[in-house]
Amino acid sequence: MIETAQKAPDFTAARRHMIESQLRTSGVNDAYVLERMAAVPREDFVPENARAAAYVDRTLSLGGGAFLAPPLAYGQILSQARPRQDERALIVGPGTGYLAALLGPLVADLREATPDAVLSGDVDGVYDLVLVDGAAEDVPASLIATLAPDGRLLTGLLRKGVTTLALGRRSGDDISLITLNETQLPRLPAFDKPQGWTF
């Protein structure tokens, strides 16, 4: 019986292909974004059995309700966020570590929190930049409260079945969001619009 050795995926080539065929062709061309996307091995943030699919243009389920959005979604987030080296940043989402690995070297301080921690007010301090790794139907007051005065929020926004990337700046206790472009960030159930009365 002849055994044929399975060829290991060339992840370096896959990252180059991701940049050329998914990011650049969709208008994501900022040098700092492409450098970070090229530097972080996406395959390290998915289960072993999903590593070969790490660079496909679709959301990958990681189990337990966690997910890894398509590469373009993260390229769009980094491009629109315009992070600065003097900023404190917070990532709100399923805690995969991938977006944190991309953003970490671009800011002064970075923390992560789950949506449930935000809703319960269990987030220390306020942040210049808050990135939501997912799509929200509603932007709760507890999420706005994580922003420093004049801080920026970038989130997926789910409206009538369409998900767009939205950017807003805190003003007092409120925020006005401007929709930027369609994106493929998966829904975060914790940030669904409340239905009726709750007690």
pLDDT tens, 4-61? 556 778 999 999 999 999 999 999 999 999 999 999 999 999 999 999 999 999 999 9
pLDDT at position 5 is 54
What is the chain written as a DSSP string? ----PPPPP-HHHHHHHIIIIIIGGGT---HHHHHHHHHS-GGGGS-GGGGGGTTSSS-EEEETTEEE--HHHHHHHHHHH---TT-EEEEESS--SHHHHHHGGGSSEEEEE-HHHHHTT---S-EEEEEEEEEES---HHHHTTEEEEEEEEEEEEETTEEEEEEEEEETTEEEEEEEEE--PPB-GGGSPP-S---
Residue from 130, 133, 135, 128 nearest 150 by CA: 128
φ, ψ for residue 17 (rounded to 5)?
A: -65, -40
pLDDT at position 95 is 87
pLDDT at position 70 is 97
Q: How many alpha carbons lie under 13 Å from residue 195 in its C-beta half-sphere?
A: 3
Please check the confidence at residue 101 and state whether its pLDDT lies above 70: yes
Amino acid in the structure at residue 18:
M
Distance CA 193, CA 171 (A): 22
Distance CA 103, CA 89 (A): 9
Domains and CATH numbers, the chain: 11-189 (3.40.50.150)
Mean of the pLDDT values across residues 173-177? Answer: 93
Distance CA 167, CA 33 (A): 17
Mean pLDDT, the chain, whole residue set: 93
Look up the pTM and report it: 0.92
Dihedral, CA atoms, 110, 114, 116, 120, nearest 10 degrees? -20
165, 187 contact by CB (below 8 A):
no
SS3 130: strand
